[in-house]
Chains A and B, each alone.
Chain A
Amino acid sequence: MTRFIERHPAWALIILIAVALLAWLVFAVWPPALEDAIGRKKIFLNALFNGVTLGGLYFLVASGFTLIFGLMRNVNLAHGSLYLFGGYVGYGISAATGSWILSFVVAFIAVALVGVLLQVLVFRRMEGQDLRQTMVTIGLSIVFADLMLWAVGGDFYQVQTPSWLVGPIELPLMTAVKSSGEAVYLQYPLVRLVIFAASVVIGVAMWLALNRTRIGMMVRAGVDDRDILAATGVRIQLVFVLVFALGAGLAGIAGVVGGTFQSISPGEDTRFLLASLVVVIVGGMGSIPGAALGALIIGLAEQLGSVYIPTYAIVVTFLIMVVVLALRPQGLLARR
């Protein structure tokens, strides 16, 4: 942190000012002039919270993608299909048993198993051939998409939110003051906050697992130089399978989350594949903190964009990617 300030004083100042401005926008009661200029505070806060929670969902999808890429150099363009598959499995379990938590567990296990099968049966056979692996994942995504369309049809499905998470919660954030002097507080869906908290927990757990455990050490060493790691006697194929299973399983969990937030239908696979591509391009390929930062930026840009400049929300996302590529082609938090 201090090193960053020493090396980039101007950037540190800009970030500090931006954070202060954001904090003021969130906590202060807006003066009438500001409300006239950009609309009511409630709309802004809702967009902000939607953006942050959507960022949590994007992080779940993109972290698996970036983990797999970082270790195996495998651009898994079937990642969106894994997401969609997880969503369908979660929907099926939650509809059959009525348990929301169970649907996460089963979706994680089912999609992780698919990941293991892919790694063992397909990708191990073409190790080190990046482009060929990518082509295979494209072919697989087509096959998966059609198989899922065949199996479940083109309908929209929504995973049932459990009763203890239904409904809004009042947050201690004032959105306005009534003429009687009574403060109005922000109402926000509890389920989105819980899911966001869960994705933060998952992110921190992944960071700890990567940086504080023996397996994590092997994975990091594998990212740096997998040949040397293999030469030191580590069973690298096992590490590969584990990482692929974890990445795929995260996509499966994200599918259930996406099914609860929004809905799942054919075409969502492409949408979330694009989201994870942009997130990891912005954040930096193969970096978990990068995926978190990228997901936050893209989620916020998408939601704030769709509120304030509705027709150009996608363009904002895309422009962010262009600017990052132009200034820092390796991504914001990549180590290179």
Chain B
Amino acid sequence: MSLIERAHLDADIRTAEPRPAFAVLSVNEHPAAWIVAVLLLIMPLIANGFFLIEIFGQTLILGIIALSLMFLAGYGGMVSLMQLTVAGFAGYMVAVFGVSGNANISLGWPWWLAMPVALVLATLFGTLGGALAVRTEGIYTIMITLAIGAAFFYFTNQNWAIFNGHTGINTVATPHFWGIDWRADIPFYYLTLAIAALCYFAVLYLSRAPFGLALQGVRDNPRRMAALGFNVNAHRVAAYALAAFIAALGGVLQVWDYHQISPGSVAVERCIDILIIAVVGGITRPVGPFIGAFIFVMLRTFALDFLVKIGLDGNRFRLLIGIGFLVIVFWSSDGVVGLYERWRRSGKPAATHPRGGGGHG
């Protein structure tokens, strides 16, 4: 627990000072946040198709899935490795219920029916997995959710009736309505951005809502919360349900982005990638997963060229990721966000920024 606890101790010291309810929205307070927001909004003017979808689209999608892990780990103290599995399940459900190239499997429902069904089923799946995971505590959670994720991966590999074995489901149809092809680069970018922003602000809001506060109480001292009359397990399962919904949104976007889904998309390594993204970015704030996702996607895309350029084997991208992750876990309990804040605090005397907390939240 100590990684989370220690990071939270830092965060609590910062957030302990009173802050206005809408501090997030003031321009003077958070110039960086506003610059980032504007940049994201006008991104299609700056970036072309490749950067727009492969870098920023992927960052936002992976960020959404990692955000669901951040919500569970940061506010609930439950490190779940099955968030990508939930996302993959949603993606599979979109492919199974919707239209795809595998006509013998897909039911061919229109997207406005297939997508909600997929979201509901994936949320159910995540909630059931969560209900299983909350039966044990702390460090066991990571093992059980990893086992669930791995079991789902092997199941999709073996099952041909629904999941079409290791070839997966290809050429999944994407929605067209209001005369717009929502998978065209610019509309898809804005769709992803809108959903990412929604999830981000929803998590931000929940962290201060009674439910989120109770959840953080459960994280810090479950016995005391139980003594106060809170149903500890119900709060945990509800957190799993919400995280599953967020992850499912990410999963639907993911399958629309790639047009296909296969067991490779839900492999154990992918599940662990999500954990890496969240931890590298920082699991105490909702902005962390997006920063982590950006770093991860940049590394994944450009590490090959970079490694070749400095005379190393380009295939060692995962080695780079692994070492980076180890470095972060060793030296910063709060990921890149924590490093940034430490740097900011050391750079300025404490009096010049009375509100303390930087970043977005």
Chain A nearest CB from B192 CB (Å) reads 27
Knowing A146-B322, A277-B147, A321-B147 touch, does A128 contact B2 (C-beta < 8 A)? yes
Whether A150 contacts B3 by the Cβ 8 Å rule is no
Per a CB cutoff under 8 Å, which of B142, B144, B268 touches A270? Answer: B268
Stretch at the interface among B157-165, B236-244, B349-357: B157-165
Whether A150 contacts B313 by the Cβ 8 Å rule is yes
Stretch at the interface among A134-142, A192-200, A207-215, A223-231: A134-142
- Give bound CA distance, A277 to B271, whole Å: 16
B139 within 8 A of A: yes
- Give bound CA distance, A329 to B4, whole Å: 24
Whether B150 contacts A142 by the Cβ 8 Å rule is no
Residues of A71-90 at the interface with B, using a CB-CB cut-off of 8 Å, are 73, 75, 77
Whether B318 contacts A311 by the Cβ 8 Å rule is no
What chain B residues lie within 8 Å of A136 (beta carbons)? 326, 329-330
- Give bound CA distance, A75 to B147, whole Å: 13
What chain B residues lie within 8 Å of A131 (beta carbons)? 1-4, 79, 138-139, 142
Whether B329 contacts A139 by the Cβ 8 Å rule is yes
Q: Beta-carbon contacts of B236-275 to A below 8 Å, as 1s and 0s? A: 0000000000000000000000000000000011001001
Knowing A129-B2, A138-B275, A314-B155 touch, does A329 contact B136 (C-beta < 8 A)? yes
Most buried by B among A128, A139, A315, A325: A139
- Give bound CA distance, A285 to B159, whole Å: 31
Whether A325 contacts B323 by the Cβ 8 Å rule is no
Residues of A235-269 at the interface with B, using a CB-CB cut-off of 8 Å, are none
Per a CB cutoff under 8 Å, which of B138, B143, B160, B326 touches A143? Answer: B326
Whether A130 contacts B1 by the Cβ 8 Å rule is yes
Whether B139 contacts A130 by the Cβ 8 Å rule is yes
A110 within 8 A of B: no
A132 within 8 A of B: yes
A30 within 8 A of B: no
Q: Beta-carbon contacts of A108-135 to B below 8 Å, as 1s and 0s? A: 0000000000000000000011111011
B interface, size bucket: 35 or more
- Give bound CA distance, A281 to B3, whole Å: 24
Q: Beta-carbon contacts of B320-355 to A below 8 Å, as 1s and 0s? A: 011101100110010000000000000000000000
Knowing A73-B139, A132-B3, A315-B155 touch, does A139 contact B326 (C-beta < 8 A)? yes
A166 within 8 A of B: no
Whether B268 contacts A325 by the Cβ 8 Å rule is no
Per a CB cutoff under 8 Å, which of B1, B79, B316, B326 touches A140? Answer: B326
What chain B residues lie within 8 Å of A281 (beta carbons)? 140, 143-144, 147
What chain A residues lie within 8 Å of B326 (beta carbons)? 136, 139-140, 143
Per a CB cutoff under 8 Å, which of A132, A138, A311 touches B272? Answer: A138
What chain A residues lie within 8 Å of B319 (beta carbons)? 142-143, 146-147, 150
B279 within 8 A of A: yes
Per a CB cutoff under 8 Å, which of A130, A146, A270 touches B316? Answer: A146
What chain A residues lie within 8 Å of B321 (beta carbons)? 142
Q: Beta-carbon contacts of B124-163 to A below 8 Å, as 1s and 0s? A: 0000000010011011101110111011001100111100
Whether B318 contacts A75 by the Cβ 8 Å rule is no
What chain B residues lie within 8 Å of A314 (beta carbons)? 151, 154-155, 158
- Give bound CA distance, A20 to B45, whole Å: 75
A278 within 8 A of B: yes
Whether A285 contacts B279 by the Cβ 8 Å rule is no
Whether B136 contacts A132 by the Cβ 8 Å rule is no
Whether B316 contacts A150 by the Cβ 8 Å rule is yes
Whether A311 contacts B160 by the Cβ 8 Å rule is yes
- Give bound CA distance, A86 to B260, whole Å: 37
Chain B nearest CB from A324 CB (Å) reads 10
Whether A142 contacts B325 by the Cβ 8 Å rule is yes
- Give bound CA distance, A130 to B5, whole Å: 11
What chain A residues lie within 8 Å of B272 (beta carbons)? 138, 142
Residues of B within 8 A of A (CB): 1-4, 79, 132, 135-136, 138-140, 142-144, 146-148, 150-151, 154-155, 158-161, 268-269, 272, 275-276, 279, 313, 315-316, 318-319, 321-323, 325-326, 329-330, 333
Nearest first, the 9 A-B pairs at minimum CB distance are: A142-B322, A143-B322, A139-B326, A129-B2, A318-B151, A274-B150, A146-B319, A314-B154, A329-B135
Contact sample, A vs B, 29 pairs, CB 8 Å cutoff: A73-B139, A75-B143, A77-B142, A130-B138, A131-B1, A131-B79, A135-B275, A135-B325, A138-B276, A138-B325, A139-B325, A140-B322, A142-B318, A143-B326, A146-B316, A146-B319, A150-B313, A150-B315, A150-B319, A274-B268, A277-B146, A277-B147, A278-B147, A312-B159, A314-B155, A325-B136, A326-B132, A329-B135, A330-B136
Q: Known contacts A73-B139, A136-B326; can you find 18 more A-B pairs with CB under 8 A? A: A75-B139, A128-B2, A131-B2, A132-B2, A135-B329, A136-B330, A138-B275, A142-B322, A150-B313, A270-B150, A270-B268, A274-B146, A274-B268, A277-B147, A278-B147, A281-B140, A326-B135, A330-B136
